[in-house]
Structure 1
Amino acid sequence: MEDTVKPAPGAAGQPVPDGGDPPGLDLVRLRAHLDAERPGLVAGELTARLIEGGRSNLTYAVTDGTARWVVRRPPLGHVLATAHDMGREFTVISALHPTAVPVPEPVLLCQDEEVLGAPFYVMEFVDGTAYRTAGQLAALGPERTREVVLGLVDTLVELHAVAPEAAGLAGFGRPEGFLERQLRRWGKQLAASRSRDLPGIDALQAALGAALPASPEPTVVHGDYRLDNVLIGTDGAVRAVLDWEMSTLGDPLTDLGLLAMYSAPLPIADSPVSTAGDAPGHPSPAELVERYAERSGRDTSAISWYTAFAYFKLAVILEGIHYRFTLGRTVGAGFDRIGQLVPVFIERGLTILDKEL
């Protein structure tokens, strides 16, 4: 789960020196596979760069000098295939591409590990900006920032309006008992990464379990829906929703609760967790929930539970990262400050359960 910490904002990618291949991407083998499976797609020699700022899967921008694509593959040396399921990502963007949900056009899925050493898929390259910080949004101005974030809510409404059966996603998940399984899953994650006393976290888990809401009709759930997982065009519109690793069929309000959580400013300067909620013009969590309710027609009266669950989930993820940091198993900047965020998320989760957004 190290991917919760985003690299420095504004990094467009790492060019590959001396015309070599980026780690994990053999361009000669990729070109041969594309020529065999999609004859005529590639017109010239391929070059590539590793795109920074994505989730744990490796993402590359690839071009033949005329056209551009994106290649996604699991991280090098990965062990848990279920956490990096290329087929799952490709399935959901293929199903959603004909709908109103903006996703890149899928090009090709390769499950043969002989090609690149792991399964991978190729999709359209979409121009756009992933806004990760309040500073980046501030450059747009308050009015434009508000439009961008409200557009993010409207896109979530479009996603949750997709009928899974009609999109060919009837078997994409197990929506029955979704919230119970989610809470149990993250409780197990917490138990596996406990290395210190965390006042309040057991109380938060217990309170969530005692107040499970009744889920609405299941929908396609993104699982990590937030501003820095979409690309925004120069017109302020959402051009593409990215990072579908955690997508499934389940309770749509889990997406809304997560978005509300990420829209609340954090009281820590230079937080290693991406947040833009304190940007001038950024709508409040309550405004986002109100807009979602108005446009989707769903009852959002239990949103405090879903937001508190989002705080619990991220507290567990951050504690796992902190634990790995103490063992010397993290690489990069910002990991030394992850641990101090965990109590903040626990406290906010407990607080939000007792009041409305």
Structure 2
Amino acid sequence: MDSQWIDDAVEVRKGEELDLPKVETFLRDSIPGLRGEMVLKQYPGGHSNLTYSVRFENRQLVLRRPPFGTKAKSAHDMSREYRILKALKPVYPYCPNPVVFCDDPAVMGCPFYVMDRIEGIILRRNPPRGWSLSADQVRTLFEKVIETHHALHALDYRTIGLENFGKPEGYVARQVEGWIGRYRAARTPDAPDFESVMEWLLAHQPPDSDRPCVIHNDFKFDNIVLDPADPLRIIGVLDWEMATIGDPLMDLGSSLGYWVEKGDPEEMQAIRTLPTHLDGALTRLEVVAHYSALSGRPVEQFEFYYAFGLFRLAVIAQQIYYRFYHGQTQDKRFGTLIVAVAVLEKAAKRLLALP
């Protein structure tokens, strides 16, 4: 595999710089044996927590911190994310290795943590130039993604010390009501109202899962790292900021929200961020069938979980757009997200046959 396919960091965005001497002093004091000059850059992807590359001569690290500016009250909990990784790493090898957590405001003004980098290929909107997987290989890779997701759901969270990391009872209702509240709070004058979709979700909630588990809540291709030597081998799963204990089918629905397949309308193709359109890729219904066969969990309300996934994705986009609209970020990528919010509302209405 070509090394240019491996994700690399770029110069830090304006307004998101860190105090290098303070960060370096903390890291050298906290991690024994770091050698050589520290080089800090920023990963350009992602719309939520900020992710930086921290390189020393003998170690490659990744630093995660909350975004600058206003943030959701319960989001961006660095301590929680770090503790989840500490608990999961011994039993779920795809996790990054968490190295050190810091909540001393003197270092950065906010909590942050550092983990070892997992170097590999991350697939985004389109495969990198020279990508040469056949349709059969693409299908195999997509099946492995679903299998890796299911492997997380199959863990016994009680035996690894995560029994207090979520409240499974009432999870579906809290999610539906919580995301509705977040959408209304982040709505800007140019955003669609989403009211008919929100009313439908409130009226059609399935019962809570009888087998709650650890859920990732953002399990998608650009959070999955592939082995550069074997692109059909998954070596990492990133971005655990929203992980909790909850309903695995809601987790699957959140993933489906990103899943734009080949036959979807042109406007959906325009907002596609992942390569779920490739020849050989599973359709959403095939994803559900493969997951159901692996887990033994029937998925009887596919429309609900998929509609929830579309709505949740729209809320995430709207929350980020809200920051741009109100001048809380200078990242110009965020200005176009309002288009995606409108397209996602249309997709949800089409799915649910709403006017």
Q: TM-score, normalised by structure 1?
A: 0.85
Aligned Cα root-mean-square deviation (Å): 2.9
Taking a change above 3 Å as real, the CA distance of residues 96 and 344 of structure 1, as seen in their structure-2 partners, is same
Q: Does 2:111 match 1:119?
A: yes
Counterpart contact for 1:138–1:145, Cα < 8 Å: no
Q: Does 2:256 match 1:260?
A: yes
Partner residue in 1 for 2:330: 331
- Given residue 102 of structure 2, which amino acid in structure 1 is its aligned partner? C
Counterpart contact for 1:138–1:280, Cα < 8 Å: no
Percent identity reads 33
- Given residue 343 of structure 2, which amino acid in structure 1 is its aligned partner? V
Q: Following the alignment from structure 1 to structure 2, what is the Cα–Cα distance between the partners of residues 193 and 145? A: 37
Q: Following the alignment from structure 1 to structure 2, what is the Cα–Cα distance between the partners of residues 44 and 198? A: 49
Q: Following the alignment from structure 2 to structure 1, what is the Cα–Cα distance between the partners of residues 32 and 338? A: 50
Residue in structure 1 matching 2:177, options 163, 168, 184: 184
Q: TM-score, normalised by structure 2?
A: 0.86
Q: Following the alignment from structure 1 to structure 2, what is the Cα–Cα distance between the partners of residues 137 and 282? A: 18
Q: Following the alignment from structure 2 to structure 1, what is the Cα–Cα distance between the partners of residues 190 and 268? A: 24
CA deviation after TM superposition for structure 1 residue 294, in Å: 1.1
Deviations 1:273-309 (A, max 9, x none): 5132212222111111111111111122222211111
Counterpart contact for 2:123–2:274, Cα < 8 Å: no
- Matches for 1:204-283 after TM superposition, within 5 Å: 204-216=197-209, 217-234=211-228, 235=230, 236-265=232-261, 267-268=266-267, 271=270, 274-283=273-282
Moved over 6 A (4+): 197-200
Deviations 1:75-120 (A, max 9, x none): 2345556321111111111111011341111111111121233211
**Any stretches of 5+ residues in structure 1 without a counterpart?**
1-8
Partner residue in 2 for 1:296: 295
Taking a change above 3 Å as real, the CA distance of residues 31 and 341 of structure 1, as seen in their structure-2 partners, is closer
Counterpart contact for 2:260–2:269, Cα < 8 Å: no
Q: Following the alignment from structure 1 to structure 2, what is the Cα–Cα distance between the partners of residues 198 and 74? A: 25
- Given residue 144 of structure 2, which amino acid in structure 1 is its aligned partner? G
Q: Does 2:74 match 1:82?
A: yes
CA deviation after TM superposition for structure 1 residue 181, in Å: 0.9
Alignment coverage as a number of residue pairs: 341
Counterpart contact for 2:169–2:208, Cα < 8 Å: no
Q: Following the alignment from structure 1 to structure 2, what is the Cα–Cα distance between the partners of residues 261 and 157? A: 17
Taking a change above 3 Å as real, the CA distance of residues 345 and 184 of structure 1, as seen in their structure-2 partners, is same
Residue in structure 2 matching 1:54, options 39, 43, 46: 46
- Given residue 158 of structure 1, which amino acid in structure 2 is its aligned partner? A
Taking a change above 3 Å as real, the CA distance of residues 10 and 102 of structure 1, as seen in their structure-2 partners, is closer
Counterpart contact for 1:137–1:276, Cα < 8 Å: no
- Matches for 1:116-155 after TM superposition, within 5 Å: 116-136=108-128, 139-141=131-133, 142-155=135-148
CA deviation after TM superposition for structure 1 residue 322, in Å: 4.5
CA deviation after TM superposition for structure 1 residue 197, in Å: 7.8
Question: The residue matched to 2:128 in structure 1 has which SS?
Answer: helix
Partner residue in 2 for 1:98: 90
Counterpart contact for 1:272–1:337, Cα < 8 Å: no
Taking a change above 3 Å as real, the CA distance of residues 307 and 272 of structure 1, as seen in their structure-2 partners, is closer
Counterpart contact for 1:194–1:319, Cα < 8 Å: yes
- Given residue 54 of structure 2, which amino acid in structure 1 is its aligned partner? V
Taking a change above 3 Å as real, the CA distance of residues 43 and 149 of structure 1, as seen in their structure-2 partners, is same
Taking a change above 3 Å as real, the CA distance of residues 281 and 23 of structure 1, as seen in their structure-2 partners, is same
Q: Following the alignment from structure 2 to structure 1, what is the Cα–Cα distance between the partners of residues 98 and 318? A: 35
Counterpart contact for 1:208–1:305, Cα < 8 Å: yes
Q: Following the alignment from structure 2 to structure 1, what is the Cα–Cα distance between the partners of residues 47 and 333? A: 16
Counterpart contact for 2:320–2:334, Cα < 8 Å: yes
Counterpart contact for 1:137–1:145, Cα < 8 Å: no
Counterpart contact for 1:311–1:349, Cα < 8 Å: yes
- Matches for 1:11-90 after TM superposition, within 5 Å: 12-15=8-11, 23-26=17-20, 28-40=21-33, 42-77=34-69, 80=72, 82-90=74-82
CA deviation after TM superposition for structure 1 residue 325, in Å: 4.7
Q: Following the alignment from structure 1 to structure 2, what is the Cα–Cα distance between the partners of residues 55 and 320? A: 10
Taking a change above 3 Å as real, the CA distance of residues 55 and 229 of structure 1, as seen in their structure-2 partners, is farther
CA deviation after TM superposition for structure 1 residue 16, in Å: 6.7
CA deviation after TM superposition for structure 1 residue 226, in Å: 0.8
Q: Following the alignment from structure 1 to structure 2, what is the Cα–Cα distance between the partners of residues 39 and 327? A: 43
Q: Following the alignment from structure 2 to structure 1, what is the Cα–Cα distance between the partners of residues 164 and 68? A: 29
- Given residue 172 of structure 2, which amino acid in structure 1 is its aligned partner? L
Taking a change above 3 Å as real, the CA distance of residues 313 and 16 of structure 1, as seen in their structure-2 partners, is closer
Question: The residue matched to 2:80 in structure 1 has which SS?
Answer: helix
Q: Following the alignment from structure 1 to structure 2, what is the Cα–Cα distance between the partners of residues 283 and 353? A: 22
